[in-house]
Structure 1
Amino acid sequence: MGYYVNVEENVNVFVEDIGQGKPVVFIHGWPLSHKMYEYQFNALPAYGYRCIGIDLRGFGKSDRPFDDYSYDRMADDIRAVVDALSLENFALVGFSMGGPICIRYMTRHQGHQANKLVLLGAAAPSFTQRENYPYGSTKEEVDTLIHGMYRDRPKTLAEFGTQFFESNVSEPFKEWFTGLNLEASGHGTIRALEALRDEDLRGELADIQAKTYIFHGKKDQICPFEFATIMHDHIPNSQLIPFEESGHGLFYDELEYFNTKLVEVLLVD
């Protein structure tokens, strides 16, 4: 079942709601949509989980305002959906850019109704290199990516996608996955990439109170594994679960293992 939730005046976000049971809220990465979780939504309802996939503003089927793609704004959008659906004791799952947005939700809203956080190849605590933080992309590299979005978004995203998976995904799968990227608005893709470049969550990791599970590919070329070790070191009550044969797309690189581990952590009280 799919529907829209109003998150602020004149802005609605699309929600896919599948299955019954314990709620799990899924936040996608840049510049994808909830559809990236197809192979999780196919499996989890059979284990008694209600899968709630949110298309962030500007992405997928959600509305596409021109401005404000900050982590604060998108965390507030998640809060609006949680309240609209009266969710309680839900697990919050975030991939890539969705990871830091989920972290911001947990700190900005004090983990409102969420009892568990699952970070998947998260672009956190900072996607870009900073003083005393020599990890990830440089700001100049992200600026080059942004420039490519203005000139030839399909080509730029196709080139970016070559770094995504370590497994030998089929050509039809690659085409489908690239198509998910192109469903996003051009301006939302750019504004969210600016947020990825500029936001820094290092100072708030210690404020996360919920149990946190960090899934991360050891071969990740987009969000290096150092991200995961830093998060694990600074998030209280966190567990690091490495995926030895995965790149950034760990949800598909080791699909069966990924789904098995996800169900395991969701079962933990």
Structure 2
Amino acid sequence: MGYYVKVESNVKVYVEDLNPLCNKTIVFLHGWPGSSELFEYQFNKLPEKGFRCIGIDMRGFGRSDKPFTGYDYDTLSNDVRAVIEALRLKDVTLLGHSTGGSIAIRYIAKYGQGVSKLVLCAAAAPSLIKRPYFPYGLPREAVDNIISETYSDRPKMLSDFGDMFFFKHITKPFSDWFFSLGLKAASWATASVARTWIEDEKLFSDLEKIQIPTLILHGIHDKVCRFQLAEAQKKAIKHSKLIPFEFSGHGLFYDQQEKFNRELIKFIEE
């Protein structure tokens, strides 16, 4: 079941809500530049196990409205808060992949209402890019190139990004499907979120504010968010557990989907 939730007076986000009568709820926040459709291989299985799966297409992406502004983590986490409040969600597991992980972290640090557990998957935190005090991220030039190519040849940028997303071999039809998800985003949203990575979106202090049980899942072959980011998350979050995915890149929910689903279920039910 899909519907829209108003998060601002002139902005609505799309919500996919599977198995809504179940009280074991997972809210999924997708990474850049996709949509909640990235979690197809979780949505196929988890409702069968008795979970309510709620996928939010972040503003500017997927089937949501695409305003020209509002792509900083504060605004995006406010959108998550609006959905959680509108649906009156309680005791949920909040799951964020990549930039969605960053948004989940900001949400917990600022609000936390309705969330009892956190799952970070290949999260872009505490910083996606290298900084003088954090040498583990991507070079700033790599993100500058993403922004430049978004404005000059977005299809090529998306194709190049897809080539580094997964660890295991993917078929041409699957690659085309993944590519199509990126094309559904607005180009200005794609560039704006990328720009936040190099401006002031750092999450060091946010991580230290997390007090709920947290599961960190991260592929050791991740070329987008290096594995050292997961180690930094584990060090900063008091009640956290890190599980490496030995045969995964950035798309661990597909690279090792059975392990991903199994560890997620185990964490929620323990």
TM-score (norm 1): 0.98
Cα distance, 1:160 vs structure 2 = 1.4
Matched residue, 1:9: 9
Work out which of the residue numbers 218, 221, 224 in structure 2 matches 1:222.
224
Aligned counterparts of 2:198 and 2:217: Cα–Cα separation in 1 = 22
Work out whether residues 119 and 214 of structure 1, in 8 Å CA contact, stay in contact via their aligned partners in 2.
yes
Matched residue, 2:149: 148
The list of structure 1 runs, each at least 4 consecutive aligned residues, that deviate by more than 6 angstroms after superposition, is none
Residue pairs, 1:79-228, within 5 angstroms: 79-109=81-111, 111-198=112-199, 199-228=201-230
Secondary structure in structure 1 of the residue aligned to 2:106: helix
Aligned counterparts of 1:43 and 1:197: Cα–Cα separation in 2 = 36
CA offsets, 1:159-207, max 9 Å, x none? 1111111111111111101111111011111111111222100122110
Work out whether residues 97 and 196 of structure 1, in 8 Å CA contact, stay in contact via their aligned partners in 2.
no
Aligned counterparts of 2:268 and 2:125: Cα–Cα separation in 1 = 22
Aligned residue type for 1:100 = S
Does 1:265 find its partner at 2:246?
no
Aligned residue type for 1:96 = S
| Structure 1: gaps of 5 or more residues | none
Secondary structure in structure 2 of the residue aligned to 1:116: strand
Secondary structure in structure 2 of the residue aligned to 1:72: helix
Work out whether residues 2 and 17 of structure 1, in 8 Å CA contact, stay in contact via their aligned partners in 2.
yes
Aligned residue type for 2:243 = I
Cα distance, 1:137 vs structure 2 = 1.2
Matched residue, 2:38: 36
Aligned counterparts of 1:100 and 1:128: Cα–Cα separation in 2 = 13
Work out whether residues 246 and 253 of structure 1, in 8 Å CA contact, stay in contact via their aligned partners in 2.
yes
Sequence identity, in percent?
49
Aligned counterparts of 1:43 and 1:91: Cα–Cα separation in 2 = 17
| Structure 2: gaps of 5 or more residues | none
Aligned counterparts of 1:40 and 1:196: Cα–Cα separation in 2 = 27
Cα distance, 1:140 vs structure 2 = 2.1
Cα distance, 1:113 vs structure 2 = 1.0
TM-score (norm 2): 0.97
Cα distance, 1:254 vs structure 2 = 0.8
> What is the root-mean-square deviation of aligned Cα atoms in Å?
0.8
Work out which of the residue numbers 225, 245, 248 in structure 2 matches 1:246.
248
Cα distance, 1:28 vs structure 2 = 0.2
Aligned residue type for 2:134 = Y
Aligned counterparts of 1:108 and 1:174: Cα–Cα separation in 2 = 36
